[in-house]
Structure 1
Amino acid sequence: MKKVLHLLSGGGAGGIEILCEQIGLRGQYRHEFCFLFSGGVIADRMKEEGLTTYDLSGESFWNKRRKLLDIFAEGEYSAVVVHHEGVKLYMLYEALIRFAEKGKMLDVTFIKYLHCTFDDSDFYTGKKVEDWLHHYLLGKTLADSDRLVAVSEFAGMSYADEFGLDDDRIQVIYNGIDVSDGESAVTDGKMTRRIEQEQCTGKEEVQSLDGSRLLYIGRLVKVKGVDVLIKAVALLKKQGNVVTLDILGDGEARKDFEKLSSDLGVSEQIFFHGVILDKKEYFQRDGIFVYPSVWQEAFGISIIEAMSNGLICVASEVGGIPEIITEKEQGILFEAGNAEALATAIVEAQRRGDAGNYQAYRDEILSRAAEFDIQKSVEQLEELV
């Protein structure tokens, strides 16, 4: 059986980490994971699930390098996949490439995953030396990798344009989710995902969604546009359209967002729940999912999760998101950073979720979500090994 070593900066509750967990659980090959700078809840869960993990977070850089080389030398890996970004991570990945070259390990495939778009505002800090080193080592990492995997066409093109890469070097593998469970069959208060009517025929009647309940899942950082969503909630309140918003996630901007909610008079409508791994309760209760990112988002796995549960999705028209919502029936795209446009889009989502309208959109939403199957993503990655 082939073995694959995955390099990650940390093991927190992020989309990259959860994707790696699914790769480990579903792959036909043996996938092992090395967390280089920090652990986290997903790293802990992977270990509990019986996946092989290595935690080098407590080591100095040179000890990390030495121990990583030992793991690689002893592991007899068919491939190494690097997922996150960062100067030190690039240096460790390059050390493995040089080690393989020196040992004439020509059958090892080195793969760089492009989970985000190349965006100047994200990659550059304004410190000339650090920025130059980051750009140089990233370019070297891209050039030295045997395979490049992008999570969207947009993400891949952003690196191709910046570093002059040939398009045929980049393989697009969309992120996926477990689509086997489909939508929930739970009846909860005002909102019913589906109910069986005529047991003799098995016919299903779908009622309306609760358009007064909004859901956001993601990091609480400025580039995710949560402030735009809070402003939209305040605008809707002024129009007499009072909604509640569940926010799942955490981050450095949480206190700023909480203060903004209070300043705009909507703190009683907005609930900050922190990181929630089991999101089923919210998918069953809330009717509209909002993804208000203001930067060039590479993909948006939480959009697929929400769609697979039948929610009406409202998302910024940026980055790779239009590759998910390709038809107007599948969701609603709005101008990034525009709170008024977002408020208008939410009203349209409420209309689509009303009785008599939802059924027409529901089938399109579920059908589109089903195309992003995690099993297909894993199989496409393993074909590159």
Structure 2
Amino acid sequence: MMVQDNKIKIVQLFDSYSNFYQPYIPPVIESLKKMNGLKITVNAFNGKSDGNVVVFPSYYRRKFKEKLYELTHRLNHKLNYVEIYFLQKNIDIIHIQHSYLFPKVLGLLSLEKNKRPKIIISLSGGDTYVKPWVQKKWADFYSNYGNKVDAFITMSEHQKKYLNTKWGIDNAKIHVIPISFGPRFNNTPKKPTTTKIKIVSVFRMCWEKNIDGNLRVIKHIKESGISVQYDIYGSGKEIGQFYYLVDKYGIQECVNLIGEIENNKLKKRIRDYDFILQLSHSESLGMSVIEAQSIGVPAIVSNAGGLPEIVDHKKTGFVVESYEIEHAAKMMIKLWTKADQYIEFSRNAILRSQDLFNIENEVRSLITLYKDVNK
């Protein structure tokens, strides 16, 4: 255990920082930096060094320094520049935030555990549910190195179970720490709109999000004689499927693709909607659903992955099978027409989301993990 000045030296490792699609991570990092007993450094491979992040040298500079290190040290295992850097800095823990950077620490994982920093890797849903099925490097990583990693962080209990049962990772190494929407804030329950149902989705255009199922819910509401507006925030490789299905189902006049906007602007807009809809086929947790509930928007989600863990069925929203299109539509219409019940759902959503998914909980869980791993 390499502890200096009684502080645990922790590197948060990114590809780039903070130029990524998740705006929720920097506030967590900043909160961790303020904690006694931790010394947090952010390292990245791309971008520019400043007061918040130290960017590694370019590829060729790293290769030159690796060669120089080889010539001056006897090595049983070849180490790359990053691994050498962490050893020389006496880092206690490397927390890999961009999981696809795992090849950068395979040399360290080949060393004896007491001669290297501890390795923690945060996993996205795709790292667990999709990539190991189609990418050999991920399957091999779990098989050959998975139980050498000191800790994996998953977003949900479902993701943890999948990682254990499908890819053989020891349950004791998997820690469920849901991502947070930010600090707690005061909010009041909202009322449903009166002239039409306003529905929102926030997701990437990909097969996992069940584009077809979400659109067929809108089609059913329209065919029920209810005026409906459906706005989608996001983009992605399956955007062509979206346009084709909107045309096929004849719902052009009630569906709007907004695209990507800044998270702060999105937060302000979401409260204007009556429901957030997410009938995903695969989902580690569902950050947009958490965020919508935190400001009082009831959710209709599928029972895929971690979604049932963030929606309390018949209290903060509804959980259905991803193919239960008509059922999802009917439940939304029914709740929308009962203002008192809707307000109660909105109140429950605020209380539950603010209680379970605030930044204080996430930071507290991370600190506990860091201390346990560093023992």
TM-score of the pair, normalised by structure 1: 0.77
How many Å separate the matches in 2 of 1:262 and 1:61? 52
Output the amino acid matched with 2:96.
V
1:357 lines up with 2:371 in the alignment: no
**1:134–1:355 distance in 2 versus 1, CA, 3 Å:** closer
Per the alignment, residue 144 of structure 1 pairs with: 148
How much has 1:80 moved relative to structure 2?
A: 0.8
Q: Contact conserved, 1:112 with 1:141, CA < 8 A, in 2? A: no
State how 1:1-385 maps to structure 2 within 5 Å. Answer: 1-9=7-15, 13-14=20-21, 17-27=22-32, 28=35, 29-36=38-45, 50-54=51-55, 59=59, 63=63, 66-69=80-83, 71-86=85-100, 89-98=101-110, 101=112, 105-106=115-116, 108-116=117-125, 121-125=130-134, 131=136, 133-183=137-187, 207-209=191-193, 212-276=197-261, 277-278=263-264, 279-295=266-282, 297-351=283-337, 354-370=338-354, 371-385=356-370
CA drift at 1:234: 1.7
Rounded to whole Å, the distance in 2 between the matches of 1:219 and 1:23 is 23
Provide, for residues 237-274 of structure 1, a one-character-per-residue CA deviation record: whole Å limited to 9, x for no partner.
Answer: 12212211121111111232123212322223222222
**Kept after mapping to 1: 8 A contact 2:202/2:234:** yes
Contact 1:117 1:154 in 2 (8 A): no
2:76 match: none
Paired residue type of 1:140: N
Judged with a 3 Å threshold, the aligned counterparts in structure 2 of structure 1 residues 384 and 242 are, in CA distance, closer, same or farther, namely: same
Distance 1:338 1:93, change over 3 A: farther
SS at 2:94's partner residue?
strand
Q: Is the 8 A contact 1:112 1:149 kept in 2?
A: yes
Structure 1, gaps ≥5 residues long? 184-192, 195-205
Query: 2:232 aligns to what SS in structure 1?
Result: strand
Equivalent position SS for 2:289 = helix
TM-score of the two chains, using structure 2 as the length reference: 0.79
Question: Is the alpha carbon distance of 1:66 and 1:96 closer, same or farther for their aligned partners in structure 2, counting shifts above 3 Å?
Answer: same
Shift of 1:324: 1.4
SS in 2 for 1:77: coil
Moved more, 64-73 or 371-380: 64-73
Find the aligned partners of 1:224 and 1:55 in 2 and give their Cα distance.
35
CA RMSD after TM alignment: 3.1
Deviation at 1:143, TM superposition (A): 0.9
Q: Secondary structure at the match of 1:346?
A: helix
Partner Cα separation in structure 1 for residue 103 and residue 89 of structure 2: 20
Query: Given residue 11 of structure 2, which amino acid in structure 1 is its aligned partner?
Result: L
Corresponding residue SS for 2:271: helix
